[in-house]
Structure 1
Amino acid sequence: MNPLDNPWYISELHIFLRLMLALLLGGLIGLEREQSKHAAGLRTNILVCLGSCLLMMLSIYGFSAFVDEPNVRVDPARLAAAVITGVGFLGAGTILFTGKSITGLTTAASLWVVSAIGLAVGAGFYFASSVTTVMVLLTLWAFNKLEKRYIRAKKEQLLKIEATDQAEILRSINTLLSDKQIVIRKMLLQEGEDDHDTGRIVLHFHILIPKSEPLFALLEHIKHLEGVHWVSSE
């Protein structure tokens, strides 16, 4: 049989072309992640895509010598399934829990998609892998712009305010925040712990502040309210 007509055969030229395409497509996504200062950047995405492509070709063509063996069953998808599982552990390393939020989910998802692109290139799905790369770049770049502008228009802050224990200060702070369209998510009132803090309270405000509102200006306004001793933000 002509090797070119054998579905279990691949030439060295096609091996090289598939690896180069995996490098290019993984690099395009990695470049976007690198510019956004994420943990998994250019080199990580290239390596994941290249490794996935190589394992896919190994899964399909690497055991071609055993195809005609009567007691051997060749499954081209077996190594591909193992790659997806392995990339899950790699993606978990990019996810961080900071106490207030979880970061790195998008980077972990991008690594998973990059591995799928590498598998697709290794299997010869050039059109599907190329279109997926364009869609991933569109999602990471264009949709990120839309999300920042329209969806994540407010950011959460924790304000700590030490003030004289009186109801008037609560009304003043509440009025100030309302005027600036700042949403109070949660409030905690804590009495002064030291002896010299008698008559003082520490207020903890979890707020949603519009990005158009400068945080420093807000702190200055609160600081100059009557009865406020100090204010800080986290």
Structure 2
Amino acid sequence: MNDPWTIDTLHITLRLLLALLLGGVIGFEREQNNRAAGLRTHILVCLGSTLIMLLSMYGFAEFAKLDNVRLDPARLAAQVISGIGFLGAGTILFTGKSITGLTTAASLWVVAAIGLAVGAGFYYASVLTCALALVSLFLLNLVEQKYFHTKKTLFFKLEATDSPSLLGRVVTMLSKQGNVIQKLSVEEIPMENGNRLQITLMLRLAKNVKVAQTVEELMSLDGVNSVSCD
């Protein structure tokens, strides 16, 4: 490898295998958390960016020998960094109440950078970045859940028999738990045997309140026939 524009097949193989390993490690963590982009996606992104970096550095070796040709190995790499955004955008979802997938999109961007570093032979930085990414995704996630746990915002839908003070009892029960009702809507549904109510709540749960506990207590109220939670 004395010529900076050439590389042997052994080093090509080692770099691609290392990209598979590093991308797979991060992808495995995402897969364990049932994210949109998991093991295979992260492996493919890392492998693809590694191949593009190899192509950018060594794929045009014949042209490097020409006097009037100047090669820039960073050109294709720059396109990967900007182009990976379309894949990351596909993992970001706006559900009307929250935005999810930002961390997975960021992990794809980091995996692409790791692949470029591996392709360039920047082994130490790529392995260290992979390790730090895992610390951020796994260990810091545990710390965040334990010490910075934010209240969950969920949608509850109740199907109930139209009866006096039902809405008041629902609101009172939820408020006693320390929950915060952010939105509330009531729709009356005419039925042959009496009117039914469909109550929709956007509820911010208190820190120590469980979803199952809230559903059970709502179901225990007189007149409530069904409860669903999104």
TM-score tier after normalising by the smaller chain length: 0.7 to 0.9
Name the counterpart of 2:117.
120
Aligned-partner SS, 1:16: helix
What residue identity is the alignment partner of 1:208? R
Residues 1:209 and 2:205 are matched in the alignment: yes
What residue in structure 1 maps to residue 126 of structure 2? Answer: 129
2:58 to 61, 65, 70: 61
Residue in 2 that maps onto 1:91 = 88
Question: Which of 98, 105, 110 is 2:107 aligned to?
Answer: 110
Q: Give me the whole-angstrom Cα distance separating, in 2, the residues matched to 1:163 and 1:146.
A: 44
Comparing 145-154 with 49-58, which one deviates more in the overlay? 145-154
Larger radius of gyration: 1
Q: Deviations over 1:41-94 (max 9, x none)?
A: 223222221221121121112212222424323111111122223322233333
Relative to structure 2, which stretch is displaced further, 177-186 or 31-40?
A: 31-40
Q: 1:34 to 1:190 in 2, by over 3 A?
A: closer
Deviations 1:172-214 (A, max 9, x none): 323211221111111113334447545x644322112246434
In the superposition, the TM-score normalised over structure 2's length comes to 0.83
The answer as to whether partners of 1:66 and 1:72 remain within 8 angstroms in 2 is yes
| Contact 1:157–1:209 under 8 Å retained in 2 | yes
Q: Say whether residues 1:9 and 2:6 are aligned partners.
A: yes
1:1-234 equivalence runs, <5 A = 4=2, 6-161=3-158, 162-164=160-162, 166=164, 168-194=165-191, 196-197=193-194, 201-210=197-206, 212-226=208-222, 228-234=223-229
Q: For residue 74 of structure 1, give the secondary structure of its aligned residue in structure 2.
A: coil
Inter-partner Cα distance in structure 2 for 1:11 and 1:75: 20
Are the equivalent residues in 1 in contact too, given 2:161–2:197 (CA < 8 A)? yes
Pick closer, same or farther for the CA change 1:164–1:123 going to 2, 3 Å: same
For structure 1, the 5+ residue unaligned runs are none
More moved, 140-149 vs 74-83: 140-149
What is the one-letter code of the residue matched to 1:205? L
1:219–1:231 contact (8 Å) kept in structure 2? no
Query: Aligned partners of 1:147, 1:39: CA distance in 2, in Å?
Result: 21
State the distance in 2 between where 1:169 and 1:191 align: 13
Summarize the Cα distance change of 1:151–1:11 in structure 2 as closer, same or farther, 3 Å threshold: same
Matched length:
228
- Gap change, CA 1:225 and 1:44, over 3 Å in 2: closer
Q: 1:148: Cα distance to partner?
A: 2.8
- Percent identity between the two aligned chains: 52
31-40 vs 111-120, which moves further: 31-40
Secondary structure at the aligned position of 1:154 is classed as: coil
After superposition, the Cα gap between the structure-2 partners of 1:35 and 1:217, relative to the gap in structure 1 and judged at 3 Å, is closer
Q: For each residue in 1:129-181, what CA deviation from the matched residue of structure 2 results, as whole angstroms up to 9, or x when unmatched?
A: 11110111011111222233344443223233435454x43433232112211
Q: If the length of structure 1 is used for normalisation, what is the TM-score?
A: 0.82
Q: 1:182 to 1:20 in 2, by over 3 A?
A: same
